[in-house]
Amino acid sequence: MTDSVKLTCTTCGQTNRIPRARLAESPRCGSCGDPLVAGKVAELDPATHDKAIRADDLPLLVDYWAPWCGPCRMMAPEFAKAASQLAPQARLAKLNTQDHPDIATRARIQGIPALVLYHRGREIARLTGARPAADIVAFVRAKAPAAA
């Protein structure tokens, strides 16, 4: 596979290599069978978060949120809309900062909701505050690498 991408399964944490040309065909994890680029928001645990931001070849936008945060809950449906619009060019995921404060500290999250765009182990850009889907999509398209 000369032109392939590595993706971490957000369900089981397994690394998968997918031909870039097949990303739009709803590829599934070779280990657990769950979709890898479904256009839906995935909930991350700390291990999967760390592995995905470090290794994935597609841009990954992580929403750092908490259940008690009103703006976070208000933005959730907009974030889901953005996920469906950005697939298969990027994946969107969430990390609960209340359950995983150590990850939020390491990611230097100072307020929520906070959106951080990662690509191949690097933070590319940040966006804070609740945003409509159109703003989230425009942010990712403007900041994500063109060859992603």
Looking only at the bridges linking them, the beta strands covering 91-96 and 60-65 are parallel
The whole-angstrom separation of Cα 71 and Cα 77 is: 11
Q: Where are the alpha helices (DSSP H) in 96-132?
A: 101-106
120, 57 Cβ separation under 8 angstroms: yes
Gap between the Cα atoms of 88 and 145, Å rounded: 14
Question: Which residues are known catalytic residues?
Answer: 69, 72
